[in-house]
A and B are shown apart, each in its own frame.
Chain A
Amino acid sequence: MLIFEHSRPGRRAPSLAPAGEAAADDIPAAFLRDGVPGLPEVSEMQAVRHYTRLSQKNFSIDTQFYPLGSCTMKYNPRACNSLAMLPGFLARHPLAPASDGQGVLACLYELQEMLKDITGMKAVSLTPAAGAQGEFAGVAMIRAYHRQRGDTARSEILVPDAAHGTNPATATMCGYKVKEIPTDKQGDVDIEALRAAVGPHTAGIMLTNPSTLGVFERRIKEIAAIVHEAGGLLYYDGANLNAILGKVRPGDMGFDVIHMNLHKTFSTPHGGGGPGAGPVGVSGRLEPFLPVPLVAYDGDEYRWVSLQERPQSIGRLSAFMGNVGVLLRAYIYARLLGREGMSRVAEFATLNANYLMKRLQAAGFDLAYPERRATHEFIVTLKRQAKQQGVTAMDFAKRLLDFGYHAPTTYFPLLVPECLLIEPTETEAREELDGFVEAMQEIQEEAQTNPELLHEAPHTQPVRRLDEVRAARELDVRWNGAG
């Protein structure tokens, strides 16, 4: 039920209602409304109940195990939230002079430095307001670099077929043609195909390492050499950074530019569209092109670095600094963990993934890459179950909801049929992982004895199986009034 359906004319929450009409005499008459906006009219308690009920319908990391592969749904420490909401941070106006905001600038500067250290890059800009904008900024810098050298023939970006869909989308958005590179049977980039694909048209390659297949790209140095020799640059998609924190650095692997998803690796909240943060890091040759503003420190004072100082910058990506509140949460998270804690994140993320993988394998599930060690995530394929019992990855995923688990990522990566991409993250206890294995085993038995139970799942959720096909074919996202 929508809050509009609770609405009754004249009903109010007096203690929260604005006192009287505000004078809007500084707004031109042409922009003023004729009538009052159609907002729901409910009592305070109705509003509280409505939103409390909605929140109870959520599947969230605060209530359930959430092994959604590639998304790194780890616990967001409450301390990060409460410290980022200190009044000194919250009340700061973005146009206030730098001299009045040395505290927040110091935090941002230190975050830049920490991200440089963790990724092995020469410089970092925090300003991109989400992972997607970080990707855009990264490829825009690759473009600016080639253009500045007069190297205008470079029109192609290489993308492995295992890549996140955002990579080809970003390359296309930046005006590049996308060339797909196949993956070999072990889950590595097909080196011979890469050799054949590079040339004077290659602007760069976009890679995730570990890849979306949940394995480490073992020949990354060779890949870097091939692309660099051809005159291209290497872009690192930071989606899977959680697996290698403090262990190996993209800068040392030969990457020229990286974007980081702070909502994954640095535990800021995953938003349904924001606010997010997707800082970018670069090697020396891309440094002049970093988006502004940056934060500089001369040993005495922190200050903003603007376009005047960086004429080659790809420019601003938003009105101010991006989402400072999110950046602060990441900063606090990094400070809480410290250098040693960072490596522990990677150790426990990979330990949990490998433990879960081995237990599921022992329980009779097929792994997509049984010979490879998992990184922070791994892939189970239900191809056999689909063939023999007619139950699909989607059926398993929906049934898991009934057992109180958020479903893993389904049908991605596209290379593996009927797949579940499972990422437990470092914040889950062993008992939780064992419970998940038991649920998977039980569902496996149901698939044999009562497959209908799976086809019709979920049974215990606020909504039953959704008709995704009809929802897509007859898209209806607008509320047209009660009745």
Chain B
Amino acid sequence: MSETPDDLKYSKSHEWLRGNADGTVTLGITDHAQAQLGDLVFVEVPEAGRELEAKDACAVVESVKAASDVYTPIAGTVVEGNESLGDTPEAVNNDAYGEGWLLRLKPADASALDSLMTASEYQAFVESE
């Protein structure tokens, strides 16, 4: 079974979100998602300043099987993308919740995180899929 840390929020499209102390939110794809995709060979992250609506495609992850969009479940402005993934896409496979983060954004509505799934809800969702 893949990891789902308790302190994160989750979306149905398999992203995780972490509320940071400075009010920003960090976003990545879940351990389950990276396992499904297989070894990543290319990651594209957004540039700082990009405005995102909820459900917008915000990054691209590409494995030898498929290229997939990553969606942000909440609206906000990109603060930074994890540019280092350009050289080390495997970080998403090896450390999905740490080094493999994709982007940090300033949410349009700080309470938007509350509507997302908890770790146990996400686990149940994955099993039902």
Contacts and interface: CB of A to CB of B under 8 A. Distances in A.
A472 B42 contact: yes
Interface residues of A, number: 9
Contact of A469 (B36, B39, B68): B39
Interface in A433-483: 468-469, 472-473
A174 interface: no
A290 to B, nearest CB: 33
B42 A411 contact: no
B89 interface: yes
B66 A469 contact: no
Interface string B39-80: 101100000000000000000000011111000000000000
B80 to A, nearest CB: 24
A360 to B, nearest CB: 22
Interface string A403-446: 00000000110100100000000000000000000000000000
Nearest to B41: A472
A465 B90 CA distance: 20
Contact of B41 (A412, A414, A417, A473): A473
A417 B68 CA distance: 14
B41 A411 contact: no
A412 B65 CA distance: 9
Nearest to A473: B41
Contact of B65 (A165, A411, A473): A411
B89 A473 contact: yes
A469 B67 CA distance: 13
State the main secondary structure of chain A at its contact with B.
loop
Interface string A378-411: 0000000000000000000000000000000001
Contacts of B36: 417
Contact of B64 (A165, A412, A469): A469
A414 B41 CA distance: 17
Interface of A: 165, 411-412, 414, 417, 468-469, 472-473
Given A473-B41, A473-B89, A468 B64 contact: yes
A472 B42 CA distance: 8
A469 B90 CA distance: 10
A297 B59 CA distance: 52
B65 A469 contact: no
Given A411-B66, A412-B66, 7 more contacts: A411-B65, A417-B36, A469-B38, A469-B39, A472-B41, A472-B42, A473-B89
A469 B41 CA distance: 6
A54 to B, nearest CB: 25
18 contacts: A165-B67, A411-B65, A411-B66, A412-B66, A414-B66, A414-B68, A417-B36, A468-B64, A469-B38, A469-B39, A469-B41, A469-B64, A472-B41, A472-B42, A472-B64, A473-B41, A473-B89, A473-B90
Nearest to A178: B57
A417 B32 CA distance: 14
Contacts of A473: 41, 89-90
A178 to B, nearest CB: 10
A469 B37 CA distance: 12
Contacts of B67: 165
Most chain A C-beta atoms within 10 Å of own C-beta, residue among B36, B41, B67, B68:
B41
A222 to B, nearest CB: 26
A473 B42 CA distance: 8
A468 B64 CA distance: 7
A468 B66 CA distance: 12
A417 B36 CA distance: 9
A366 B41 CA distance: 30
A456 to B, nearest CB: 18
A473 B43 CA distance: 11
A171 to B, nearest CB: 14
A468 B63 CA distance: 10
Contacts of B41: 469, 472-473
Nearest to B38: A469
Nearest to B42: A472
